[in-house]
Structure 1
């Protein structure tokens, strides 16, 4: 169910431990949620390498709750294909991020 839900979701709620949830655009790739932050991109207070997070997925059509997933944030240096996919996912913007985190389901 998680894989199917995240393939369709363009945005998810991310709650780093000790912080409020934040709605963020995200990309599901290779079994994890990728979130670009900083620079001209979104800010997610508390998101750091090794931090436990909760990821909440809602239906893109009905906005009903689909699934909550515990995850661990891992700072990554995206390869060229991943960076291109992140840029393509933003559609009408030219994203410039400071960091990319891979939220790996527990």
Structure 2
């Protein structure tokens, strides 16, 4: 169910340990969620390498609660293909981020 819900979600709620939940755009790729932060992108206070996060997914059509899961944030340097996927998933004309985190589910 997690895989299916995250494939369809364009945005998820992320709450780094001790932090408030933030609605963020996200990209499901290779069994994890990618979240770009900083620059012209969203800010997620408390998101850092190795931090555990609570993730909430809501239905894209009804906005009803679908599931909660726990993930660990891993700072990554996206390769060209992944960076292109992140750019194409955004509505920003030229998105620029400072960091990309891969949220890995246990």
Shorter-normalised TM-score: what interval?
over 0.9
Q: Structure 1: give runs of 5+ residues left out of the alignment.
A: none
Q: Deviations over 1:24-76 (max 9, x none)?
A: 00000000010000011000000000000011100000000001110000000
The separation in 2 between residues aligned to 1:17 and 1:92, in whole angstroms, is: 29
The separation in 2 between residues aligned to 1:13 and 1:100, in whole angstroms, is: 16
Q: TM-score, normalization: structure 1?
A: 0.98
The separation in 2 between residues aligned to 1:48 and 1:91, in whole angstroms, is: 25
The separation in 2 between residues aligned to 1:41 and 1:23, in whole angstroms, is: 12
Tell me how large the CA RMSD over aligned residues is.
Answer: 0.7
Q: How many residues align?
A: 106
Find the residue that maps to 1:85 and give its secondary structure: helix
Q: Structure 2: give runs of 5+ residues left out of the alignment.
A: none
2:74 alignment partner in structure 1: 74
